[in-house]
Chains A and B, each alone.
Chain A
């Protein structure tokens, strides 16, 4: 398995140094301190990190993913169908990591102090699921179609892992631990469907979902209702030839989310420490005791619920050669599960998963598909979908005042810096930064920000107070896009096919953490070693790191061409009397290109904080498909 640390090390290492040095550790260039010892404050030689004699990471894994489905129509009463689905996902893996004694990485590790380390770990997973439903459907008097469904599902997630690591030279144990956890999800659900003459449709569903994650609020009830009017099937629409589809839809529904945090967050758990570095002196002789500590917990965690209102219209023209679908929606989420600071002294740690507030998403989606050419030898289809979404936080329960909100979006660099703020009235994941001041040539001035805060004069203007304090930070752009687009097009001619797809995003801003953490000129020469900086450092010329400057907040809007496939299908040929085989050859390029103004590696970063130093690869695939 690759050493991810080597990539970061390669970015930080002095590029003017040679890779190898016969006087260095194990033949590699090595930074030394003023006393001639390995400089444990310096950067690591990236090529040494990839040397298989100095580091090795190997793992074996086996996985079984299976599913059995039994579908049974009652004999003599075929309108009733019973379905049972059983599934299992069993996985087992084990692995071994080794860092050799005397390697630079081992000297830099304070636990190893050059003595090397060996780690053996394993992981076992047993996820099982059982789902059962009964479905009754019947058309009465040729016009009334009804469908009832009721079901039950049971899911069990169970996992177990071990990790044992020790120092190679003297066997000093770093850790010998075991982890185990399980989750149960149980649901009861039902659905009723009625449609009249395939013109008026109504569907109602009800779910009761239970999770073992929230011991004091296990169950959530989630109903929904949907209406449809197939206008095209109305008698007055019969003669409208060009319009082949016209359907109006409206729905209201609630869904629940519980997939946040650990399995036992609502339990008051006590940890028996099993890492020797955190033992305590037992007070007699040379004995150390493994302490017991009480962990923080949120007893009242509950389901996060989202209520969605939706209206939509489906259109089709010229026998559905051109179709369009338009939806407008409003989604209100309440009791959002998020990891936030809890009041000091109220619990046994400072941050916990909590149901913190509510937010709203509003927007519309358009989906267009066209069959541009439909001939015997040639066809060309094109599809595009787009969505506009506006997100707003509507309530924060952690604080009664509407003050400044909850800090989030931690970055690497410095200690404990956050660049986003959850505040009422703003989108989730809005950046909260200082406004950079630029000189007349457009270069940012180190540490100088716009003084936004101060007293307000009679006209309502702010008089700057002359200091830069936290009040001078402001809510700026947000990480989630305003508009997303996807498109795909496919062209066939005789036996050839070509397909292209891509997607785009607009209005998503990205905080370039890779740059903010690797551009400052400070510490370039420090503690007897020279580090490296990104080439973009010449544009900012910041002497100190400016983590909270909006200079690093960049427009991440992009257009990506994702996939282009070109294929040729050979004419089918006969294998034997009744069987034919078809051979298809294709070539694909994935991740063709990205068009963006963003200066970092890749603007498609969920959450908007980019720490990525490694580009996504462009993949070329050549394949054969053989069907017979």
Chain B
């Protein structure tokens, strides 16, 4: 009997251990990574959370420039959002070549990229990660107990940043995966056609503008979007409507521009520091102060918002050879980017936008890998308008101006050229030219507007879209090394769109490839 009692005693003790099965229900104990109920608790966390949405455009990840990227399988710096935008919008044009041996980077300029290109997959992943991040913000933010006005403002900021990412999607990839905040994480998206995405974007941006939750020019927080940004994006959508849908919308564009032109923005016409021209002050380390003309820019800071992309990439990659990195405000350049002769020839000597380095460079690019071939850029600098260097020479303070009032004026001119009424496009056009120090014109032509956009907005990631809209991208205009031929040649017409990357088509069987690509 005693032995049986002993046995039972032991078995009972063992049975109490089964209570420990509950141990499997864990909660994360990492002080920095937690579930939503522990993290999004008050208005401060809401502000931190919206900053996280913006951060995806400004850095490569969450652990500093030298830390792990938030996207896997690709080099952190090369896969940064704005750097990817530069690859797709600038390296494919007359404005820029890159001489590095980073695998297929030269394919952008040669215009012979393939569907398995890792840089294309990187940029594509970034765009959709940003849409996803914005969707998640909208889902979760609504659950927080916060002042409704603040909540509505932040939600509309996230919607605008989502629209910005979808704008890059519609422009570069056309027919893309599509999900909104009403879908849940883990859903495999369906593909939306370019024309349908246009309709959604138009409706979304009009709704944001109409709701009026976004701040105006004078009370927007630095680094956040204002109503002007939403209007700017809608104007860009209408400007390119012919390309995106086949139906042109010049008058609608002009109407939005007119609205935007009444918001109080103006060209930065007078040099504040006296050391650089007014134009160049838009591209210096303290360009966060240029709120007269810059509608929205992607933040960079040498100490706090660092990456190997955005303006850090543009400045470091544009500097090389015998250029003095100290003059530019950095430690030393990476020596990659130069311009083609066709682009250089568009500038007259009096143009204050002609911010190039030519001294030890030759105009013609005989060898794309040799930095001294091709004139170099000195537009973006890590120096303040007082001439002081930025905080750090390893990382720049210069923000990347994504939306500028000068672009608004040039868009107005283009709309008027195509018959839109209600705006004085010619006056707007001449305002830009006068600020640059070149003579005014009396009539507008397509070639003139296209060239002026090149002179005003170079390195700001608009060139490819402009060339496509003016029908000069795949054919009709050649530049050095286009098509991997020294004098340049026409390329296949399907290259107006980038391919849907192989990796995503393998992961998502709903996606069909863009026409022309195998």
Bound-state CA distance A460–B256 (Å) is 59
Q: Are B29 and A399 in contact (CB under 8 A)?
A: no
B331 touches A272 (CB 8 A): no
Does B506 lie within 8 Å of A132, measured CB to CB? no
Say whether A175 contacts B221, CB under 8 Å.
Answer: no
- For chain B, residues 42 to 71, give those with C-beta under 8 angstroms from any C-beta of chain A: 45, 47-49, 51-52, 54-56, 58-59, 61-67, 70-71
Query: Does A347 touch B at the CB level, under 8 Å?
Result: yes
Interface residues of B in 495-510 (CB under 8 A from A): 502-504, 506-509
When distances are taken between beta carbons in the complex, the residues of chain B under 8 Å from A277 are 59, 63-67, 303-306, 395
Q: Which residue of A lies closest to B72 (CB)?
A: A351
Tell me whether A403 and B506 are in contact in the complex, defined as CB-CB below 8 angstroms, given that A113-B331, A264-B33, A270-B36 are known contacts.
yes
Q: Please report whether the interface of chain A is mostly helix, strand, loop or mixed according to DSSP.
A: loop
Given contacts A111-B66, A289-B51, contact A152 B17 (CB under 8 A): yes
Q: Given the known inter-chain contacts A277-B65, A522-B369, please indicate yes or no for A291 contacting B31, CB distance below 8 A.
A: no
- Select from chain B the residue with minimum beta-carbon distance to A398: B507
Please determine whether A267 and B35 come into contact, CB atoms closer than 8 angstroms: yes
Residues of A within 8 A of B59 (CB): 277-278
Best-surrounded residue of B320, B321, B331 (most CB of chain A within 10 A)? B331
Chain A 386-413 per-residue mask, 1 if CB under 8 angstroms from chain B, else 0: 0000000000001111011111001000
- Closest Cβ of chain A to B290, distance in Å, is 15
Q: How far is the CA of A33 from the CA of B304 in the complex (A)?
A: 28
CA distance A152 to B40 in the complex (A): 39
What residues of chain B lie closer than 8 Å to A368, measured between beta carbons?
Answer: none
- Contact check, B177 vs A271: say whether CB atoms are below 8 A apart: no
Of B130-138, B401-409, B434-442, B460-468, the one touching chain A: B130-138
Knowing A270-B35, A280-B299, A343-B504, say if A544 contacts B3 (CB, 8 Å).
no
Contact A470 B103 (CB under 8 A): no
- CB of A275 within 8 A of CB of B17, answer no
In whole angstroms, how far apart are the Cα atoms of A475 and B36 in the complex? 44
Structural contact, A275 and B125, CB atoms closer than 8 A: no
In the complex, B189 has a CB within 8 A of chain A: yes
Q: Which residues of A contact B103 (CB under 8 A)?
A: 414-417, 547
Which A residues touch B35, using CB under 8 A?
267-270
Which residue of B is nearest A348, CB measured? B132
A177 adjacent to chain B (CB < 8 Å): yes
How far is B122's CA from A502's CA once the two chains are assembled, in angstroms? 45
Instruction: Tell yes or no: B12 within 8 A of A by CB.
Output: no
Of all chain A residues, the one with the shortest Cβ separation from B135 is: A345
B30 touches which one: A186, A210, A264, A298 (CB < 8 A)?
A264
Interfacial residues of chain B within 187-225, with CB under 8 A of chain A in the complex: 187-189, 221-224
Interface residues in B174-193 by Cβ distance below 8 A to A read 177-179, 185-189
A75 and B114 in contact, given A178-B31, A410-B73 (Cβ under 8 angstroms): no
B447 within 8 A of A: no
- Closest chain B CB from A517 CB (angstroms): 11
Q: Is the CB of B128 within 8 A of A345?
A: yes
**Among B30, B116, B131, contact of A179 (Cβ-Cβ < 8 Å):** B30
Given A267-B28, A292-B48, A343-B189, CB of A350 within 8 Å of CB of B55: no
Task: State which of B3, B63, B131, B137 has its C-beta within 8 Å of the C-beta of A76.
Answer: B3
Known: A271-B62, A280-B299, A522-B101. A347 touches B71 (CB 8 A): no
In the bound complex, do residue A344 and residue B124 qualify as a contact, i.e. CB atoms below 8 Å apart?
yes
B305-A279 in contact (CB<8A) = yes
Closest to B503 in A: A341
For window 267-326 of A, CB contacts with B under 8 Å fall at 267-284, 288-295, 297-300
Residues in B whose Cβ lies below 8 Å from that of A152: 14, 17-18
Kindly state whether residue A545 has any CB partner on chain B within 8 Å. Answer: yes
A523 to B322, CA, bound (A): 17
The segment from B19-27, B236-244, B275-283, B473-481 found at the interface with A is B19-27
Q: How far is the CA of A560 from the CA of B422 in the complex (A)?
A: 84
Give the residues in chain B near A40, CB-CB below 8 Å: 331-332
Query: Do A415 and B75 touch (CB < 8 A)?
Result: yes
A60 interface residue (CB < 8 Å to B): no
Interface residue? A349 (CB, 8 A): yes
**Bound Cα distance from A470 to B119, whole angstroms:** 15
- In the complex, which residue of chain A has the Cβ closest to the Cβ of B336? A527
Query: Count the A residues whose beta carbon is within 8 Å of the partner chain — how many?
Result: 115
CA distance A41 to B334 in the complex (A): 7
Q: Is the CB of B305 within 8 A of A278?
A: yes
Tell whether B431 is near chain A: CB-to-CB under 8 Å. Answer: no
Question: Are B39 and A272 in contact (CB-based, < 8 A)?
Answer: yes
| A40 nearest in chain B by CB position | B332
Instruction: Evaluate contact between A347 and B33: CB separation under 8 angstroms.
Output: no
Measured between alpha carbons, how far is A269 from B415 in the docked complex, in Å? 47
Q: In the complex the two chains form, is A276's CB within 8 Å of B62's CB?
A: no
Q: Does residue B145 face the partner (Cβ distance < 8 Å to A)?
A: no
Q: For the complex, is B129 an interface residue (Cβ under 8 Å from A)? A: yes
Q: In the complex, which of the residues B64, B72, B101 contacts A276, with contact meaning CB atoms closer than 8 Å? A: B64
Instruction: Please name all residues of chain B whose beta carbon is closer than 8 Å to the beta carbon of A39 when the two chains form the complex.
Output: 332
Answer yes or no: A530 CB below 8 A from chain B CBs: no
Point out the residue from B78, B125, B306 that lies within 8 Å of A415, measured CB to CB.
B78
Contact A290 B324 (CB under 8 A): no
Asked if A144 CB lies within 8 Å of chain B CBs, one says no
Closest to B99 in A: A526
Task: Output the residue of B78, B102, B332 with the most chain A CB within 10 A.
Answer: B332
Is A74's beta carbon under 8 Å from chain B?
yes
Known A-B contacts A292-B48, A417-B103; A348 and B518 likewise in contact (beta carbons under 8 Å): no
Q: Is B325 an interface residue (CB 8 A)?
A: yes
Q: Is B388 an interface residue (CB 8 A)?
A: no
**Chain A minimum-CB-distance residue to B39:** A270
Whole-angstrom distance from the CB of B428 to the nearest CB of chain A? 30
- Contact yes or no, A346 B186, CB < 8 A: yes
Q: How far is the CA of A292 from the CA of B188 in the complex (A)?
A: 25
Query: What's the minimum C-beta distance from B259 to chain A, rounded to whole angstroms?
Result: 25
B248 to chain A, nearest CB (A): 29
Q: Cβ of A280 and Cβ of B129 under 8 Å apart? A: no
Does B386 have its Cβ within 8 Å of any Cβ on chain A? no
Contacts of A407 in B (CB 8 A): 503
In the complex, are the beta carbons of A280 and B51 less than 8 A apart? yes
Asked if B326 lies at the interface with its beta carbon under 8 angstroms from chain A, I say yes
Cβ contact of B122, chosen from A278, A416, A523, cutoff 8 A: A416
Q: Does A211 contact B (CB under 8 A)?
A: yes
Q: Specify the chain A residue showing the minimal Cβ separation from B31.
A: A178
B10 at the interface (CB under 8 A from A): yes
- Cβ of B118 within 8 Å of any chain A Cβ, yes or no, is yes
Residues 308-334 of B at the A interface (beta carbon under 8 Å): 320-322, 324-326, 331-332, 334
Interface string of A178-189 (1 = CB under 8 A from B): 111111101010
> Which A-chain residue is minimally distant from B30 (CB atoms)?
A180
Q: Are A74 and B222 in contact (CB under 8 A)?
A: no
Please report the C-alpha to C-alpha distance between residue A50 and residue B21 in the assembled complex, in whole angstroms. Answer: 51
**B29 lies within 8 A of A181 (CB):** yes
Q: Which residue of B lies closest to A522 (CB)?
A: B101
The 8 A CB mask of B93-113 against A (1 = contact, 0 = none) is 000000001110000000000
The chain B residue with its CB closest to the CB of A548 is B103
Across-interface contacts of B26 in A (CB, < 8 A): 182-184, 212, 215, 263-264
A-B contact pairs, 7 of them (CB 8 A): A186-B20, A212-B25, A267-B28, A280-B51, A280-B52, A280-B304, A293-B52
Chain B residues within CB distance 8 Å of chain A: 2-3, 6-7, 10-11, 14, 17-18, 20-21, 23-26, 28-36, 39-40, 45, 47-49, 51-52, 54-56, 58-59, 61-67, 70-75, 78-79, 101-103, 114-116, 118-119, 121-122, 124-125, 128-129, 131-133, 136-137, 140, 177-179, 185-189, 221-224, 288, 299, 301, 303-306, 320-322, 324-326, 331-332, 334-335, 369, 392-395, 502-504, 506-509, 518
The 9 closest A-B pairs by CB, nearest first: A283-B221, A277-B64, A110-B394, A416-B118, A343-B508, A414-B103, A291-B52, A293-B52, A280-B51
A283-B222, A350-B71 known; 20 new pairs, CB 8 Å cut-off, are A34-B321, A35-B322, A35-B325, A110-B394, A130-B17, A152-B14, A152-B18, A182-B26, A215-B26, A272-B33, A277-B304, A280-B52, A282-B221, A294-B140, A344-B177, A348-B132, A348-B136, A350-B129, A399-B509, A469-B518
